[in-house]
Amino acid sequence: MADTMHGGEEHTRRDFLYLAAAATGGVGAAVALWPFVSSMNPAADTLALASVEVDLAPIQPGQAIKVMWRGKPVFIRNRTEDEVKQAQAVGLAELIDPQTDADRVKAGKENWLVLVGVCTHLGCIPLGTNSGEAKGDFGGWFCPCHGSHYDGSGRIRKGPAPKNLQVPEYAFLTDTRVKIG
Amino acid sequence: MRRLRTLILAGVLGLTGAAGALAAGDAPVPPAQEWSHGGVNSPFSMFKTFDRASLQRGFQVYKEVCSACHSMDLLAYRNLEEIGFTEEEVKAIAAQYEIQDKTPNDQGELVTRPGIPADHFKNPFPNKQAAAAANNGKAPPDLSLIVKARSHHEDYIYALLTGYAEAPADHPVPEGTYYNKYFPGHAIAMAPPIYPDGITYGDGTKATVEQQAKDVTTFLAWAAEPHLESRRQTGIMVMLFLVVFAGLMYAAKRRVWADAH
Amino acid sequence: MAHAPTSSFKNPVVNWIDQRLPVFTMMQKEYGTFPTPRNFNYFWNFGALAMFVLATMIVSGVVLAMQYTAHTSLAFTSVERIMRDVNWGWMLRYIHANGASMFFIVVYIHILRGFLYGSYKKPRELLWILGVVIFLLMMATAFMGYVLPWGQMSFWGATVITNLFSAVPVVGESIVTLLWGGFSVDNPTLNRFFALHFLLPFVIFAVVFLHVAALHITGSNNPLGIEPKGPQDTLPFHPYYTTKDLFGLSLFLIFFAFFVFFAPNYLGHPDNYIPADPLVTPAHIVPEWYFLPFYGILRSITFNIGLPFSDVVLIDAKLGGVIAMFASILIWVLMPWLDRSPVKSYRFRPIYKWWVLMLVVSFAMLMYAGGKPAEQPYVLVGQVGTFLYFLFFLGLPVISSFERPLPLPASIAQPVLGGGRVGAVAAAKPMEKA
């Protein structure tokens, strides 16, 4: 009787030992795998370029520029007063992706429109930044791939794109200098 | 069996010893110095870290003295945050340099602009040929990896910087070179780079030749192995884990084998 | 053939798969119940360790390849970008670089095990030859991998080793041009070395599979070198040798981790942290430590071999060195036939025991001489080492013919358990079931 008891205890202890060894090994292997996966995330040099600073001084009203940010173009347009007024006048009911112009610019800097220049449909680059390019039916941008029209606030008005042109995270460092990202 | 094990052990030790012995060269062996981080290649300095103040002083020596001729292409200004400079200080340091963009602008010109933290250290010469032409035909080596690229590592760099002397009568050196005790062949093209109080340290440390040599070597050691500290910290965790795991596996193996004998 | 095999696994999914593709039955047969001699010592851990290192090298190599650029102008900086900017890149690269050294340490011990215990002998000749093939592939892979960082040693090592082929009469120069894809080691060379360095490990993996398959046909050798005579001589692979291999692995990992985390450049050469420069040769070109013995043999042939009493040179020193170096490995293939002794294990072979020690000593001498400058007395050490090395193989038929082996035990179980304790194992058996 006593012998059986002893055998049972022995077994419990043994099972615990095997379990502990297996669990330790398993956890160790899983943790060791992490650096291999993590190495595929953006490296430090890539992250260092995750934000860019842009000097706005040379951009005249009515003009726009393209800058590269995180491998994608960013459109920066210095809108004329008329363009700002037009954009503000659009009623939300007319919009596919309703958003006011004020939500898409910084207060007090309404003339500056900063957009990620990637069509929200399938990732093409819309036309309309350089002078002479087709601006679409709404005076903003026009995506030649599948015919999406964006207005003077970068909002989708016509065509297959589901969303407005994305506004990146940005901040004014001075009156003529922005930091994107 | 025991003899066999001893033999294998001796073999393994012998070959690692052989690899170590390879490092020996012609010039005298530089004397070993005390390093706050124990040396980039020192295997038993698990708990040692870089002296931050010395690193920052060392950067000052590089910036004010070495960088006139020596590039450090592999370092970016942003890396300086790792040795204790703030983001703002790094921005200010980077902005002191005029960096030429790698890609042309819309007009096809390569414009220069103030540096940003993501830029790599500005090379004093536009290319290797220009560096060689300005230095009697031999380009000064890039210093990014110099501590790992020389036998005896930190000790050698320190010995070289402090090893200038009058050429002995029986060993004259050619025109345009300088006698150095620790340089292979003793005739080095680099003029003695550091002088007592040649620079003024921001933190008030007295700028002796030894102090400057020590600081700049520490800085160069960090530049060559910037992840030294995290490497050692990770290593300690890994070792602790492995010792526990080995203990558990030993116990488990003993249990399994208990009924086989 | 016509009948689907019947499986009896508890898990229905496992059962379903197994009836259609009996991978689980195979795993259980080859790694579960596989009868394994009960008397292995720790020498028998090194096969499993080699397999582990191969897997580690492939996994770390694949993630490094995602960051590496095989171009002469970018290779060095891309490696340094891995070391500085890529998340955990320094660790992955140090694992891979030191992993190569670990692979050779493990495999050298594994090979020594084969020499000591006669694992090359009938019926394991093909198993042994496949092992030699793996070793040759490893050497090629390691050599090409060392070129990739494009440091000074990478470049000059590649130049020296590829130039070996110029020793081949008549077509030598053409072979070298073909290897280079140009007129010197340059960008085309780097590119093809990268491609081959990526490919060859998978070839190694395939040959390892054959190596293990052949092992499981003949069964393992063991320290006594006598074949198991019945179930009392063997243990199921699992859990006995799985736990033992894992314990061995945990110790090996401590050794490996020490190098990766605390001495990652100890086995490397400082010159490889200088970018490759085709205009400046390092003062002293040495290969990685694991190639030193063979490099030592290469450099030991400093004399021409010609017709006696004439000036006719048959093999010049350069070709002689190359032939000797390749012969020093290829001669391993002949081991099963050079050794004529009917006994496998060195334990029962009074002369072979010392003979194999001579091989180890010559190997150590060559490793020492290979790492030293080509001057006296190192050249002499290398030459004596070369002589002893080849003496081991060429003298083996003679010594194994007249050697009188010691009496062999009746079975594996007998010496392990001792005469009187045979009953003890029978008593232990029911416990296993409980």
Chain B window 63-122: which residues touch A at a Cβ cutoff of 8 Å? 76, 78, 116-118
Question: What DSSP state is assigned to residue B163?
Answer: -
Same domain flag for B126 and B201: yes
CATH number at residue B39: 1.10.760.10
Q: Give the one of C261, C270, C432 whose C-beta lies nearest to B231's C-beta.
A: C261
Whether the link from the prior residue into C239 is cis, omega within 30° of 0, is: yes
C60 interface with A at CB cutoff 8 Å: yes
A165 pLDDT above the threshold of 80? yes
- Chain C contact present for A43, CB below 8 A: yes
Find the mean pLDDT for residues B155-163.
Answer: 96
> Measuring CA to CA, which residue among C82, C71, C103, C88 is closest to residue C256?
C103
* Domain identity same for B240 and B184: no
- Three-class SS state of B113: strand
SS3 C99: helix
- B-C CB pairs within 8 A amount to 136
Whether A78 and A120 share a structural domain? yes
Instruction: Enumerate neighbours of C (3 or more CB pairs within 8 A).
Output: A, B
- Enumerate the β-bridge partners of residue A93: none
CB contact under 8 A, C254 and B226: no
B98 in a structural domain: no
Q: What is the pLDDT of residue C373?
A: 86
Told to judge if C238 belongs to the known catalytic residues of this protein, a careful annotator would answer no
The position carrying tokens 């360095």 is: C197
Per-residue pLDDT tens digits for B85-142: 999 999 999 999 999 888 887 788 888 989 999 999 999 999 999 999 999 888 999 9
Least Cα separation, residue B246 to chain A (angstroms): 9
Contact C365, C384 (CB under 8 A): yes
Which has the minimum average pLDDT: B233-242, C30-39, C417-426?
A: C417-426
Whether residue B63 is contained in a domain is answered as yes
Are B52 and B156 contained in the same domain?
yes
CA distance C145 to C193: 7
B27 and B132 share a domain? Answer: yes
Check residue C5 and give its pLDDT.
56
Cβ neighbors of A132 (< 8 A, separation 6 or more) are none
Q: Which subunits sit against A, judged by 3+ Cβ pairs under 8 A?
A: B, C
**Contact criterion met (CB < 8 Å) for C89 and A43:** yes
Task: Kindly report, residue by residue over B198-248, the tens digit of the pLDDT.
Answer: 999 999 999 999 999 999 999 999 999 999 999 999 999 999 999 999 999
Share of chain B above pLDDT 70, in %: 90
Domain assignment of residue B37, yes or no: yes
Q: What's the confidence (pLDDT) of residue C311?
A: 79
Instruction: Say which of C244, C271, C339, C344 is annotated catalytic.
Output: C244
Q: CB under 8 Å to C434, separation ≥6 — which residues?
A: A7
pLDDT at C430: 39
Question: Which long-range contacts (C-beta less than 8 Å, at least 24 apart) are formed by C320-328?
Answer: C321/C167, C321/C297, C322/C164, C322/C165, C322/C167, C322/C168, C322/C298, C324/C297, C324/C298, C324/C300, C324/C386, C324/C390, C325/C164, C325/C294, C325/C295, C325/C297, C325/C298, C327/C390, C328/C294, C328/C297, C328/C389, C328/C390
Chain B partners within 8 Å of A68 (Cβ):
none
Rounded to an integer, the average pLDDT of C125-154 is: 97
Which range among A120-134, B32-46, B193-207 shows the weakest confidence by mean pLDDT? A120-134
Rounded to whole angstroms, how far apart are CA atoms C157 and C147? 8
Name the band, by pLDDT with cuts 50, 70 and 90, for residue B31. Answer: very high
Say whether pLDDT at A1 is over 90: no
Residue B235 inside a domain? The answer is yes
Q: What is the Cα–Cα distance from B245 to B234, expressed in whole angstroms?
A: 16
Give me the domain span that covers residue A54: 46-180
Reading across the β-sheet that carries A72-78, which strands appear in turn?
A64-69, A72-78, A112-116
Q: Which residue of B has its CA nearest to C415?
A: B261
Residues in C touching A38 (Cβ below 8 Å) = 87-88
Which residues from chain C sit within 8 angstroms of residue B153, using beta carbons?
270
Both B151 and B260 in a single domain?
no
Does B154 share its domain with B260? Answer: no
Same domain, B142 and B236: no
Contacts of C365 in chain B (CB under 8 A): none
Q: Is C216 an annotated catalytic residue?
A: yes
**pLDDT grade for C358, boundaries at 50, 70 and 90:** very high
Looking at the structure, do residues A21 and A79 belong to the same domain, yes or no? no
C373 touches chain B (CB under 8 A): no
CA dihedral C331, C333, C338, C342 (to 10 degrees): 150
- Quickly list DSSP for B45-74: -TT----HHHHHHHHHHHHHTGGGT---TT
Answer yes or no: are the C-beta atoms of C41 and B1 closer than 8 Å.
yes
Q: Where are the extended beta strands (E) located within C188-312?
A: 234-236, 305-306
What integer pLDDT is reported at residue A8 of this predicted model? 61
| Six-digit token string for C253 | 């990992």
pLDDT at C296 over 60: yes
At A44, give phi and psi (nearest 5°). Answer: -60, -40
B246 and B167 belong to one structural domain: no
How big, in percent rounded to 5, are the helix, strand and coil portions of chain B? Answer: 45, 5, 50
Query: How many domains in chain B?
Result: 2
For chain C, give the mean pLDDT.
Answer: 92
How far the first Cα of chain A sits from its last, in Å, is 74
Instruction: Tell me, yes or no, whether B125 and B41 share the same domain.
Output: yes
* Average pLDDT over every residue of C275-281: 93
* Identity of the residue numbered B62: Y
DSSP state of C68: -
Tokens of C221: 């050798």
What pLDDT is attached to residue B261? Answer: 64
Secondary structure letter of residue B80 according to DSSP:
G
Read off the pLDDT band of C309 (50, 70, 90): confident
For residue B20, pLDDT beyond 60: no
| Active site positions of A, annotated | 146
Report B:167-186 residues touching C (Cβ under 8 A): 184
Q: How many CB pairs under 8 A join A and C?
A: 38
Task: List C-alpha distances in Å: A131 to A80, A135, A141, B248, C280.
Answer: 14, 9, 11, 72, 54
Claim to verify: residue A76 and residue A137 sit in the same structural domain: yes
CB contact under 8 A, C86 and A35: no
Report the mean per-residue pLDDT for chain B: 89
Instruction: Based on the fold, state whether residues A72 and A31 are members of the same structural domain.
Output: no
Q: Under a CB-based contact definition with an 8 Å cutoff, are residues B226 and B79 in contact?
A: yes
* Size of chain C in residues: 434
Q: Are residues A140 and A166 in the same domain?
A: yes
Q: What is the pLDDT of residues A5-59, one digit of tens each?
A: 455 666 777 788 999 999 999 999 999 999 999 999 999 999 988 888 888 888 9
DSSP state of C42: G
Catalytic residue flag (residue C220)? yes
Domain that holds residue B236: 228-261
CA angle A84, A89, A93 (to 5 degrees): 135
| C3 in active site | no
Taking the Cβ of residue A12 and every Cβ of chain C, the question of whether any pair is shorter than 8 Å is answered with: no
The answer on B175 and B234 residing in a single domain is no
Q: Are A27 and A65 within one domain?
A: no
**What does the pLDDT average to over C387-405?**
96
Residue B172 has pLDDT above 50, yes or no: yes
Q: Is the pLDDT of residue C417 over 70?
A: no
- Are A18 and A104 contained in the same domain? no
**Looking at residues C91-120, what average pLDDT do you find?**
98
pLDDT over threshold 80, residue B5:
no
**Domain boundaries of chain C, sorted by first residue:** 26-287, 295-403, 407-434
Task: Give the pLDDT band of residue A3 (cuts 50, 70, 90).
Answer: very low
Are A70 and A35 members of one domain? no
Q: How far apart are CA A42 and CA A48, in angstroms?
A: 10
CATH number for the domain harbouring residue A149: 2.102.10.10
Task: Classify residue B26: in a domain, yes or no.
Answer: yes
Least confident range of A79-88, B64-73, B240-249, C51-60: A79-88
* DSSP structure class, residue A127: B
Least confident range from B57-61, B186-190, B227-231, C137-141: namely: B186-190
Number of structural domains found in chain A: 2
> How confident is the model over C298-314, as a mean pLDDT?
83
- Answer yes or no: do B127 and B211 share one domain: yes
CATH of C26-287, one of 1.25.60.10, 1.20.810.10, 1.10.3720.10, 2.60.40.1180: 1.20.810.10
Closest to A155 measured CA to CA, from A119, A107, A108, A123 = A119
- CA atoms of B181 and B187, how far apart (whole Å): 9
The predicted complex's ipTM stands at 0.89
